[in-house]
Structure 1
Amino acid sequence: MENKDHILIVDDDREIRELLATYLEKNGMHATAVAGGRQMRAVLEEGPVDLIVLDLMLLGEDGLLLCRELRAGKWRSVPVLMLTALNEETERIVGLEMGADDYLTKPFAVRELLARIRAVLRRARMLPPNMEQAEVVQMLSFGDWQLDTMARHLIDSKGTMVALSGAEYRLLRAFLDHPQRVLTRDQLLNLTQGRDSDQFDRSIDLLVSRLRQRLLDDAREPRYIKTLRSEGYIFASPVEVREIDK
């Protein structure tokens, strides 16, 4: 018997969660729909879940808090697709920083949700399930910095650690894995979130700005992340990879 992807829907709107569950079931997935954080935890305790569709504006515990909890605990490797009624880019960025793998703004077409779910699942299965489970940990060195792929933080030339959000880490890894190569916004979104951009999506630009601040990189004369007008971005510094056996 073929194993179906198990999608957990967390939304306090009964009509929405029932509609999504029915649609996903018709398209070959196993869907479980719950109203809030307590029920979400109960389902996760019962057995494996392949992806969580999580509404941002839940009553009680909101989606951002639940996403942060997921990323800090034993379910941190489960992909999260966040639903939001808010159309502000800053809200999208906050969701991505909390660890969401993608987001979709309400109202949305259920066909687009299905396509996003499949893209996130493909992306998740292309990568090692957890950095901490890998046999070899990499230390990536560039300019005045090192990136510890186990702890997921930066280390400057003085040995000071600089914490990164989940979104900042994924973006920096995309650059370090493809140094001195032009990456379009679509490519960066696909590498970091497993999806393509839409016409008005500037979330990558905001994340690049935040990452430049972490790297103390002057946007007017950048040393690391350079902007190529009408093309995208390029990570200009050479990258040295050193493997550390654990």
Structure 2
Amino acid sequence: MMRIAVLEEDTHQRVHLIKALSQQMVISDEHIAICTFDNGEALRRAIRVDTFDLLILDWIVPDLDGIDLLRWLRDSQKDTTPVLMLSAQGSERQVVQALDEGANDYVVKPFRTLELCARVRRLLKQRRDSTQAKAITQTPLQERYGAWLFDRGQLFVEFSARAGERAQKHCVTDREFRMALALFRHIGQPVSRSYLLEQSSYRGENLSSRALDSHIYRLRSKLGLHPANGIRLQTVYGQGYRLEWVRAEE
């Protein structure tokens, strides 16, 4: 599932945007979840504790304009989440300013639905490809991250704790597989609890936060996610979890 945050003050425009995305978006059979915000500060608070695959930002909104939020995202947070700017103003100066501040695309309102959705699909594909590109090797059904090999066809994880040893297949549930893959694809970055829950839950299911912690505990053990193996899975207070490479002697 891909998660989109929409910052739009005008209720009519917000409803129109959500309807357009919901009806027109098809990302290789991948579902999308849309979170909406009517002021910049509310979205900034959400970004501090949540994970999104795309941000759609209106330029002028209460509390914190979209362009200021974009500047904060790129300069202060060093966050590379794709951003599509929306604005009723289409002057060359504004477009250039948004791109210089780090926007990935710019759409002038009123937007054309099919064009907007095509731009969103392109940005989400780039996001998906960039996270998967962190894999050392990748085939249509396999992704390798260091000593960990994920096979999406047969849903197993292969891992060898020591160089030269034969890798062993580790049995994980479908839910654990998706949860672990989401962490590896975002290695080095905090991944929010809500993002992990959405990535590992079935449609219509509400997995509890306590259940998430239990799965994380089991994954640490099953996949050897410990500094002795050159990797660490740690809790990020108020947000979620972060998987990161470490030197074994740490």
Look at both structures and tell me which one has the larger radius of gyration over its CA atoms: 2
Query: What is the TM-score when the length of structure 2 is the normalising length?
Result: 0.47
